[in-house]
C-alpha cells in the first residue's frame, strides 16, 4: 500500500505536512505521531467553532482530541472506525475527516477514527479493489470507495462490488437525476455523485502572450503544430480525470477525428504525469503553457497564483460535468457508519464543505475545495460564501455524454492510448517534429494519426477484453502498427 491516512493528516514515505515530519510508513493501516495528533486536535477545535456546535458537543470534541493524543503512543485506536479508499487530494481528506468527526460525535456521543487509503490514483485504486475482491469475494475490509469519476463506479457496480443504500426521500428529491446526460446517482442507489466537475484546459497567460499563441477554443486545437512541447497531460491509465477527458474528446469529435486529436495532443505533450493533480503546478511554474485539468484543480491554482497568471477554459460546445461518486463496498465492516458518512456528504452540511470559501460558517476549515455541489438549491443559499465560479445547472451544452459507452470501453481505451501514444511517445514526437519541419501536410497527418480500429469494432473487442491472451496480443499489434506509422513519416 503506497500511503495511508488516519484522521486529519496523512502518512507517506518521508513526507512533510507544514513543519510536521511523519516519517515512513511502518504498517498498512496505522501510524501515529504526537505532532500529527496535535494537528487533529487543532482541526477538531476549529471545526467546533466553525460549526457552532453546542457546548456539550464542543467539550466532547476536545475530549476526543485528547483521546487521540493519548492514542499516539500506541499503534491503533479502539472504537468506531470507517475505512475509505479514495484518490482525492489531501485537502478533501482533511476537511471531510474533521467535519465528519464532529458530526458523528454530535449524533452518537462517540468519537470515530477515519482511515483513508490510496494506491496512487483512480485507476490504481480501482485495480487494487478488483484484485482484493478476487482474493476475498465476500469483502475486502474497506467500507467506501470515494471519488474518481463515473466510469470507475460503473465498473465497480457492474462487477458487483457495491451495495445499495437509499438516501432519505427528502434529500434524494433535491438531487437531479442527470446533468448533460451524466447521471448524478445510480438508479438502484449503488452510488451517488457527491460533487460535479467540469473539464477543460488551463493556460499560463504570460507565456501565451510572450509566444504569441492563441487560446484554446476547441479540443482539436490541442493538436495544432505550434503547440509542440507546450502541453502537460496525465496518463489516462493512471488518472481517472485524464481518462474522462480522452473519452469526452472521442465522443464530442467522433471516433476518427477524436482519435486524431488525441494523437496530435499526445505528440504536443512534454510528458505524461501519473496524476492529474501535477498538471496545474507545471502550468503555473512555466514548465508547460497548456494543461488538461479538471476545473477545481485549475481554480485552486488560480487562487494561489492569481488570475493574471493562469486562465482556464472549457472548450466551446463540449461542456461535460462528471459526478464524483461515493459508494459502499460489499462486505463493508462498518456498514451503518458508512451509510451515515454517505448521507452526511450528500446533505447540505456536507455539500457546503465542497463549495464554500475556507473559514466561512459551515465551510471548510483551512482549504477551499472549489467543487460544485449536486444540490441546485444550495447555490443561492450559500451566496457570496461560495468559491465556485460557475453554477453548472445554469449552463447549456451541445454535447450529451454517453456514460454507458464510456464505461463499456473504459479499460480498452486506456490500453489503446497506452499502446499508440504513451509507450511509443518518443517515436511519436520524433515523427511529429519531422512532419512540422516538412510543412505540416494535412494528408500526411491523416495517415499517421489513423485509429487502428473503428468504433464499431471497439464494442466487439470490449466483450473479449477479459481474455488476457487476446488483450495482450491486440495491444502488441496496436503498438507495432503505431510505431510503423510514425517511422514512415518523412
> Which of the four pLDDT bands, split at 50, 70 and 90, describes residue 78?
low
> Which of the four pLDDT bands, split at 50, 70 and 90, describes residue 115?
very high
Q: Decide if pLDDT at 164 tops 50.
A: yes
* pLDDT value, residue 38: 40
Gap between the terminal Cα atoms of the chain: 46
* pLDDT value, residue 487: 97
CA distance readout (Å), 489 to 223, 226, 484: 17, 18, 9
Question: Hey, which residues does 321 pair with through a beta bridge?
Answer: 198
Hey, CA dihedral for 35, 98, 108, 336, is it positive or negative? negative
* pLDDT value, residue 160: 98
DSSP string for 95-120: HHHHHHHHHHHHHHSS-EEEEEEESS
Give the mean model confidence (pLDDT) for residues 149-172.
95
* pLDDT value, residue 59: 52
Per-domain residue ranges for the chain?
3-195+323-385, 409-490
Residue 209's CB is within 10 A of a number of other CB atoms, namely 9
Cβ(233)–Cβ(417) under 8 Å? Answer: no
pLDDT tens digits along 313-343: 988 777 788 899 999 999 999 999 999 999 9
Better-scored residue on pLDDT, 241 or 468: 468
Give the mean model confidence (pLDDT) for residues 52-67.
49
* Cα gap 259→485, rounded to integer Å: 14
* Cα gap 210→346, rounded to integer Å: 45
Q: The C-alpha cell of 84 is what?
A: 475509505
* Cα gap 242→197, rounded to integer Å: 13
Q: Decide if pLDDT at 7 tops 80.
A: no
Q: Pinpoint the alpha helices (H) of 121-199.
A: 122-135, 150-158, 169-172
* Cα gap 24→413, rounded to integer Å: 36
Give the mean model confidence (pLDDT) for residues 299-319.
89
Q: The C-alpha cell of 474 is what?
A: 491486440
Q: What is the per-residue burial (b if ≥16 Cβ within 10 Å, else e) of 39-68?
A: bbbebbbbbbebbebeeebbebbeebbeeb
Q: Decide if pLDDT at 46 tops 50.
A: no
* Cα gap 192→194, rounded to integer Å: 6
pLDDT tens digits along 406-434: 889 999 999 999 999 999 999 999 999 99
* pLDDT value, residue 240: 85
Q: Which of 320, 300, 302, 319 is nearest to 310 (CA)?
A: 302
* pLDDT value, residue 398: 59
Better-scored residue on pLDDT, 347 or 66: 347
Q: Decide if pLDDT at 74 tops 80.
A: no
> Which of the four pLDDT bands, split at 50, 70 and 90, describes residue 14?
very low
**CATH architecture label of 3-195+323-385:** 3-Layer(aba) Sandwich (3.40)
Q: The C-alpha cell of 370 is what?
A: 472549489
Cβ(330)–Cβ(190) under 8 Å? Answer: no
Please enumerate in sequence order all residues whose Cβ is within 8 A of that of 209, keeping only pairs 6 or more positions apart, or say none: none
Give the mean model confidence (pLDDT) for residues 120-148.
95
Q: Decide if pLDDT at 31 tops 50.
A: no
* Cα gap 127→87, rounded to integer Å: 12
Q: Decide if pLDDT at 27 tops 50.
A: no
* pLDDT value, residue 417: 98
* pLDDT value, residue 318: 76
Q: What dihedral do alpha carbons 200, 206, 210, 212 form, nearest 10°? A: 30
23: left (phi over 0), alpha (psi -120 to 50) or beta: left
Q: Decide if pLDDT at 378 tops 60.
A: yes
Hey, CA dihedral for 72, 74, 75, 76, is it positive or negative? negative
Q: Which of 229, 374, 367 is nearest to 290 (CA)?
A: 229
Q: Decide if pLDDT at 77 tops 70.
A: no
Q: Give percent above pLDDT 70 in the chain.
A: 84
Chain mean position to CA 318: 19
- Report the interhelical angle of 425-437 vs 468-487 (nearest 10°): 30
Please enumerate in sequence order all residues whose Cβ is within 8 A of that of 461, keeping only pairs 6 or more positions apart, or say none: 412, 453, 474
Chain mean position to CA 73: 34
- Average pLDDT along the chain: 86
* pLDDT value, residue 320: 84
Better-scored residue on pLDDT, 66 or 115: 115
Q: The C-alpha cell of 158 is what?
A: 457492474
Give the mean model confidence (pLDDT) for residues 362-376.
96
pLDDT tens digits along 217-236: 999 999 999 999 999 999 99
Q: The C-alpha cell of 311 is what?
A: 486562465
Please enumerate in sequence order all residues whose Cβ is within 8 A of that of 131, keeping only pairs 6 or more positions apart, or say none: none
> Which of the four pLDDT bands, split at 50, 70 and 90, describes residue 18?
very low
Q: Decide if pLDDT at 121 tops 80.
A: yes
Q: The C-alpha cell of 299 is what?
A: 481554480
* pLDDT value, residue 131: 97
Q: Decide if pLDDT at 369 tops 80.
A: yes
Amino acid at each position: 500500500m503506497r500511503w495511508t491516512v488516519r484522521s486529519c493528516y496523512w502518512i507517506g514515505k518521508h513526507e512533510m505536512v507544514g513543519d510536521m515530519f511523519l516519517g515512513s510508513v511502518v504498517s498498512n493501516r496505522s501510524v501515529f505521531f504526537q505532532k500529527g495528533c496535535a494537528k487533529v486536535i487543532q482541526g477538531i477545535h476549529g471545526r467546533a467553532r466553525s460549526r457552532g456546535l453546542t457546548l456539550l458537543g464542543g467539550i466532547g470534541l476536545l475530549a476526543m482530541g485528547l483521546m487521540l493524543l493519548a492514542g499516539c503512543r500506541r499503534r491503533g485506536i479502539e472504537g468506531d472506525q470507517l475505512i475509505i479508499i479514495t484518490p482525492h487530494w489531501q485537502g478533501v481528506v482533511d476537511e471531510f475527516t474533521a467535519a465528519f468527526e464532529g458530526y458523528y460525535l454530535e449524533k452518537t456521543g462517540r468519537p470515530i477514527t477515519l482511515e483513508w487509503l490510496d494506491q496512487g490514483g483512480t485507476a490504481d485504486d480501482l485495480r487494487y479493489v478488483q484484485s482484493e475482491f478476487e482474493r476475498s469475494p465476500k469483502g475486502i475490509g474497506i467500507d467506501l470507495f470515494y471519488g474518481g469519476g463515473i466510469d470507475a463506479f460503473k465498473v465497480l457496480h457492474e462487477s458487483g462490488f457495491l451495495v445499495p443504500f437509499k438516501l432519505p426521500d427528502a434529500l434524494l428529491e433535491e438531487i437531479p437525476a442527470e446533468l448533460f446526460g451524466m447521471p448524478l446517482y445510480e438508479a438502484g442507489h449503488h452510488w451517488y455523485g457527491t460533487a460535479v466537475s467540469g473539464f477543460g484546459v488551463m493556460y499560463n497567460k504570460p507565456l501565451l502572450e510572450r509566444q504569441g499563441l492563441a487560446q484554446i477554443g476547441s479540443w482539436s486545437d490541442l493538436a495544432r503544430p505550434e503547440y509542440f512541447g507546450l502541453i502537460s497531460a496525465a496518463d489516462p491509465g493512471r488518472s481517472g480525470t485524464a481518462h474522462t477527458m480522452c473519452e469526452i474528446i472521442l465522443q464530442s469529435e467522433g471516433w476518427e477525428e477524436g482519435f486524431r486529436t488525441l494523437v496530435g495532443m499526445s505528440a504536443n505533450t512534454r510528458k505524461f504525469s501519473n496524476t492529474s493533480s501535477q498538471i496545474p503546478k507545471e502550468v503555473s511554474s512555466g514548465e508547460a503553457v497548456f494543461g488538461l485539468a479538471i476545473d477545481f484543480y485549475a481554480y485552486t491554482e488560480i487562487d494561489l497564483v492569481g488570475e493574471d497568471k493562469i486562465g482556464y477554459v472549457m472548450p466551446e460546445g463540449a461542456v461535460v460535468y462528471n459526478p464524483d461518486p461515493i459508494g459502499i463496498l460489499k462486505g463493508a465492516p462498518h456498514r451503518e457508519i458508512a451509510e451515515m458518512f454517505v448521507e452526511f456528504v450528500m446533505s447540505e452540511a456536507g455539500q457546503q464543505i465542497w463549495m464554500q470559501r475556507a473559514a466561512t460558517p459551515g465551510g471548510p476549515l483551512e482549504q477551499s475545495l472549489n467543487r460544485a455541489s449536486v444540490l441546485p438549491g444550495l447555490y443561492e443559499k450559500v451566496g457570496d460564501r461560495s468559491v465556485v465560479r460557475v453554477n453548472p445547472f445554469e449552463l447549456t451544452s451541445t454535447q450529451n455524454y454517453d456514460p454507458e459507452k464510456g464505461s463499456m470501453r473504459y479499460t480498452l481505451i486506456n490500453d489503446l492510448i497506452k499502446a499508440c501514444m504513451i509507450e511509443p511517445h518518443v517515436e511519436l514526437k520524433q515523427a511529429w517534429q519531422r512532419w512540422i519541419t516538412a510543412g505540416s501536410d494535412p494528408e500526411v497527418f491523416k495517415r499517421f494519426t489513423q485509429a487502428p480500429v473503428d468504433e464499431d469494432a471497439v464494442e466487439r473487442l470490449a466483450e473479449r477484453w477479459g481474455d488476457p491472451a487476446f488483450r495482450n496480443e491486440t495491444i502488441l499489434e496496436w503498438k507495432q502498427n503505431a510505431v510503423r506509422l510514425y517511422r514512415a513519416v518523412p
